[in-house]
């Protein structure tokens, strides 16, 4: 779990990277930026806001031959070894990004390289290197008093509420290629940022396995439980699955199936489905792993717990207490109307 609020920006170097394909240039600053309290506060919000708002899907720096051949890995390792080398190595980072900026769709922009301290990653303080890029320029209005009137001056600048691209490289797991988070608001050139510049692979950690296993369960519920049972049982299965993950620190598949699977006849179906679909989620050989609580929360927010009926009525089930849906909601068939019905028991209506 990541907490960026106590993070301190020790220094920032700012460079300009053009598009080589368009014969644009690379401009490297001689010195780091001078930061005061105002600019530091503004940059913190600009740099970190997108990482607080997105899911924590971690990567690692990699290379098909050996991690030592990853250009960014070599540069950040130098920085972590000698913090005084940040500005010099920030020029190498900007030059490396410039070398990858050779597609006509890639936009020129400013590149910030920051050394960060005090980040809480899984409740441990770590240092990190932040690399951020601003690309899209926006028109904004300035006003100037002149000769008894107010004139409008149109200028261009960046929107500090929307970072175009950014990554955080944490000083952990060096041997595996560090731990990396990335954001990209502009999807038209993702390959250039993730593959060509960063050179990353997905980091298969507890966060990765927790999310992927729950996504796999979600598709099993839709493809197998729903056709075999009904919508109520599909929702209940996912409620139980998420709650099992939420109350346990470690996952063990046989315990999970025994607790969550209401119909034992579906257990062989689950195992067959895992053989067939498991590779899609990289869980085909996975049956034990530590559970990441933040990942459980992220998945819970996305799972729908609503039964939509063709009579324009919705039944929303409690995701935290799925046993209520079992005790107090019954499904039946009305012969006279030739329609299904849900019977809901309750003591009193609650005020909203």
Please check whether residues 282 and 260 belong to one and the same domain: yes
- Residues 143-160 have a mean pLDDT of 82
Please check whether residues 173 and 252 belong to one and the same domain: no
Give the phi and the psi of residue 84 in degrees, each rounded to 5. Answer: -70, -10
| Cβ–Cβ under 8 Å, residues 141 and 156 | no
pLDDT-based confidence at residue 61 (cuts at 50, 70, 90)? very high
Contacting residues for 55 by C-beta, under 8 A, at least 6 apart = 211, 295, 298
- Residues 273-277 have a mean pLDDT of 94
Please check whether residues 286 and 198 belong to one and the same domain: no
Please check whether residues 182 and 34 belong to one and the same domain: yes
352 assigned to some structural domain: no
Beta bridge partners of 154: 141
Is residue 274 packed enough to be buried (19+ CB in 10 Å), middle (13-18) or exposed (0-12)? buried
> Among residues 203, 233, 262, which one ends one of the domains?
203
> Among residues 203, 233, 253, which one ends one of the domains?
203
pLDDT of residue 232: 77
243 assigned to some structural domain: yes
Q: Tokens for 6?
A: 């106590």
Beta bridge partners of 151: 144
Distances from the Cα of 37 to the Cαs of 8, 45, 127, 302, 323, in angstroms? Answer: 11, 13, 21, 38, 52
Which domain does 331 fall in, by range? 216-344
| Cβ–Cβ under 8 Å, residues 209 and 289 | yes
Please check whether residues 130 and 238 belong to one and the same domain: no
- Cα torsion 104, 109, 115, 121: sign: negative
Please check whether residues 57 and 88 belong to one and the same domain: yes
Please check whether residues 251 and 318 belong to one and the same domain: yes
What percent of the chain lies above the pLDDT cut of 70? Answer: 96
pLDDT of residue 16: 94
- Residues 275-279 have a mean pLDDT of 93
pLDDT of residue 57: 86
The number of domains in the chain is 2
195-243, pLDDT tens digit by residue?
999 999 999 889 999 999 999 999 999 999 888 877 778 888 888 899 8
pLDDT of residue 323: 63
350 assigned to some structural domain: no
Q: How far apart are the first and last CA of the chain?
A: 33
pLDDT of residue 54: 80
147 assigned to some structural domain: no
Max CA distance (Å), the chain: 85
Please check whether residues 108 and 244 belong to one and the same domain: no
Place of tokens 């990541």: 2
pTM reported for the whole predicted model: 0.78
| Cβ–Cβ under 8 Å, residues 224 and 270 | yes
DSSP of 28-69, one letter per residue?
Answer: --SSPPP--HHHHHHHHHHHHHHHHHS----EEE--SS-GGG
Please check whether residues 271 and 221 belong to one and the same domain: yes
| Cβ–Cβ under 8 Å, residues 6 and 118 | yes
Q: Please determine, for residue 319, whether its predicted confidence score (pLDDT) is greater than 60.
A: no
pLDDT-based confidence at residue 158 (cuts at 50, 70, 90)? confident
253 assigned to some structural domain: yes
| Cβ–Cβ under 8 Å, residues 223 and 214 | no
- Residues 239-260 have a mean pLDDT of 92
**CA–CA separation, 334 and 259 (whole Å):** 32
**CA–CA separation, 298 and 301 (whole Å):** 6
Q: Please determine, for residue 322, whether its predicted confidence score (pLDDT) is greater than 60.
A: no
- Residues 68-87 have a mean pLDDT of 95
Please check whether residues 194 and 220 belong to one and the same domain: no
- Residues 310-326 have a mean pLDDT of 70
pLDDT of residue 297: 84
**CA–CA separation, 199 and 192 (whole Å):** 9
pLDDT of residue 327: 74
Q: Are strands 329-334 and 8-17 parallel, antiparallel or unpaired?
A: unpaired
Contacting residues for 275 by C-beta, under 8 A, at least 6 apart = 284
298 assigned to some structural domain: yes
- Average pLDDT, rounded, for the chain: 88
Q: Please determine, for residue 105, whether its predicted confidence score (pLDDT) is greater than 80.
A: yes
Please check whether residues 64 and 125 belong to one and the same domain: yes
Is residue 150 packed enough to be buried (19+ CB in 10 Å), middle (13-18) or exposed (0-12)? exposed
**CA–CA separation, 92 and 301 (whole Å):** 41
Please check whether residues 124 and 243 belong to one and the same domain: no
């Amino acid at each position: 779990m990541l907490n960026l609020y106590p993070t301190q920006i020790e220094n920032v170097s700012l460079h300009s990277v053009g598009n080589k394909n368009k014969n644009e240039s690379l401009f490297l600053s001689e010195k780091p930026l001078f930061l005061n309290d105002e600019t530091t506060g503004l940059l913190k919000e600009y740099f970190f806001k997108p990482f607080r708002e997105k899911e924590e899907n971690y990567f690692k720096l990699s290379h098909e031959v050996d991690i030592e051949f990853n250009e960014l890995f070599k540069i950040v390792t130098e920085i972590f070894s000698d913090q005084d080398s940040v500005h010099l190595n920030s020029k190498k980072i900007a030059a490396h990004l410039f070398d990858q900026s050779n597609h006509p769709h890639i936009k020129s922009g400013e590149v910030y390289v920051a050394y960060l301290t005090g980040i809480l990653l899984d409740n441990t303080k770590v240092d990190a290197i932040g690399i951020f890029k601003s690309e899209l320029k926006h028109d904004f209005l300035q006003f100037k008093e002149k000769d008894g009137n107010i004139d409008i001056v149109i200028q261009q600048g960046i929107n500090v509420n929307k970072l175009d691209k950014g990554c955080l490289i944490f000083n952990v797991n060096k041997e595996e290629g560090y731990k990396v988070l990335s954001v990209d608001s502009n999807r038209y050139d993702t390959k250039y940022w993730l593959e060509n510049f960063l050179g990353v692979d997905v980091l298969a950690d507890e966060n990765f396995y927790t999310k992927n296993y729950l996504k796999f369960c979600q598709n099993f519920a839709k493809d197998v439980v729903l056709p075999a049972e009904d919508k109520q049982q599909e929702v209940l299965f996912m409620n139980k699955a998420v709650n099992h993950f939420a109350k346990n620190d470690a996952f063990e598949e046989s315990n999970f199936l025994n607790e969550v699977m209401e119909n034992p006849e579906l257990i062989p179906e689950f195992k067959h489905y895992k053989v067939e679909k498991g590779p899609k989620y990289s869980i085909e050989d996975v049956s034990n792993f530590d559970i990441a609580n933040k990942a459980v929360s992220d998945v819970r927010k996305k799972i729908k717990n609503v039964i939509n009926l063709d009579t324009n009525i919705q039944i929303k089930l409690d995701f935290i207490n799925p046993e209520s849906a079992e005790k107090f909601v019954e499904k039946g068939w009305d012969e006279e109307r030739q329609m299904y019905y849900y019977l809901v028991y309750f003591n009193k209506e609650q005020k909203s």
